Structure 1
Amino acid sequence: MFNQSTNLADGKLPVFVFPSTLSFYSDDQSSHKQVLTVYNPYEFPLKFKVLCTVPRRYTVVDSEGTIRPRCCVDVVIRHIDICINNEGVNDKFRIQVSEHGHRKILGKKDFSAVLLPTRGRETTPNKDDTFHATSRAKRGEDNPGTAPFDEVVRRRSVRGPSFVVILTGLVCIIALMLPSQGENGSRLPDYLHLSVNQKLIAAYVLGLVTMLILHI
């Protein structure tokens, strides 16, 4: 079972970020702005900060902030250096989190961002993994755009989310709203009190469903 106190102590708190890769395309202006979702399935607020190996190539809206318990935030990332010299370069981003009111880093999550000339092209990673703080754009300047989930989803021609996808999302939302094990004052029976692990799984699946719906 997930041990929250142990993870807080060793700085390895799991960080949930969706999607795991951002793909920008030189020939598709709509792809130059992507949205990243950071989840907090825990019972306490988290502070987050976005770092990047090459921050001059990107503008990040709200690159740091606070996520309330059992909530999520959308971070808009815009590629601002679209040129042939940057195509195929695999940049790295890092989300690091800490408990609200404390400076100690509890956990981190790395993901990649790549600029491709057109959809369907692959790239090889670069070796420069030195992270720097990203620029912070003015609040309200951009609205979250769409972010690709994976190559399979990109190639699917779907007009709208299926009933199964919507139902899965609703089940995950309900699961996250149910009380946690050991929580007092709830009138629901014990079998509806979910463990932290169960809620982490629900948050993970909800993130996948969200990205799929946004892409469609």
Structure 2
Amino acid sequence: MQAGWALQGNIPVFVSTTEVILYAGDPRKHTSTVTVLNPYDIDISYQVFSTVTGDEKYTVVEPHGSIKPKHCKDFILRHNAPYPSNCGVVDKFRIKIYDNTTKQFLGKTTISATLQAGLPPKDDTTPSLSSAKSSRVEKTAQNQTEIAHKASCPQRRTENPNYPFIISLGVVCFCAVILFPTDRTSCQGDPSSQYTLTDHTKCICTFILGMVALTIFRP
């Protein structure tokens, strides 16, 4: 099917834009990038022709080249005479594509370039500022989320329904280890000698006390 198109020499030429707007008041807007696309299954070559009188008015960077199937390539259109007398003038450029193997002409299209006076609209002049502002907002939101997460960690431990029981258990085990003597340290004349703990019981209390401490002070 593409062979038939090639013989007719009128297959569509796909470009990113057919109308280029340049602005005399902003040096950054004296240039524009145009993309030539190759949606076909063959290698093509393109060439940009200017219909403008006087070759010094524009500079075309990469005015010709080859494009692989399903690929694209850019060329840059630069206005060299952004003077008031040139504002409002519509200039034409013709893009032709060829079969890169047979050099047979396949199709063409035309794009226009117009130099406007003054500056571009604000939406066109401040994309970088908007991007920077959005980036700052995202970073601020991320920092606030991290702070809130850190602040909520102790709160989540406090809101644990078992937290009071764990504290109480730790206090009981601490008192058992510190206050109550063991069987071998009790004295006959000591009235509190009836309240004694075995070494095995104190070891268990010490182990429980350590687990309680880990639960309370874990990050």
SS in 1 for 2:114: strand
Counterpart CA distance in 1 for 2:12 and 2:124 is 27
The answer to whether the aligner puts 1:107 opposite 2:111 as a matched pair is: no
User: What's 2:40 paired with?
Assistant: 42
Q: TM-score, normalising length from structure 2?
A: 0.53
Structure showing greater radius of gyration is 2
For residues 64-143 of structure 1, what are the structure 2 equivalents within 5 Å?
Answer: 64-119=64-119
Kindly indicate whether the alpha-carbon contact (under 8 Å) linking 2:6 and 2:105 is maintained by their aligned counterparts in 1: no
Counterpart CA distance in 2 for 1:83 and 1:26 is 7
Report the CA distance between 1:5 and its aligned residue.
Answer: 2.6
Question: Which one has a larger percent helix, Structure 1 or Structure 2?
Answer: 2
The answer to whether the aligner puts 1:4 opposite 2:21 as a matched pair is: no
* Structure 1 vs Structure 2 CA RMSD: 2.5
Q: Deviations over 1:159-187 (max 9, x none)?
A: 46xxxxxxxxxxxxxxxxxxxxxxxxxxx
- Selected match of 2:15 from 14, 17, 25: 17
| Structure 2, unaligned runs of 5 or more | 132-219
Q: 2:64 corresponds to which letter in structure 1?
A: E
User: What's 1:208 paired with?
Assistant: none
| Structure number with higher relative contact order (C-alpha < 8 Å, ≥ 6 residues apart) | 1
| Structure 1, unaligned runs of 5 or more | 121-150, 161-216
Report the CA distance between 1:118 and its aligned residue.
Answer: 2.5
Seen in structure 2, the aligned counterparts of structure 1 residues 28 and 99 have a Cα distance that, compared at 3 Å, is: same
Counterpart CA distance in 1 for 2:80 and 2:50 is 14
Q: Deviations over 1:107-162 (max 9, x none)?
A: 00111000110357xxxxxxxxxxxxxxxxxxxxxxxxxxxxxx9x85997946xx
Count of residues paired in the alignment: 129
Q: TM-score, normalising length from structure 1?
A: 0.54
Query: Identity of counterpart residues, as a percentage?
Result: 33
Q: 2:9 corresponds to which letter in structure 1?
A: G
Report the CA distance between 1:9 and its aligned residue.
Answer: 1.1
Kindly indicate whether the alpha-carbon contact (under 8 Å) linking 2:43 and 2:101 is maintained by their aligned counterparts in 1: no
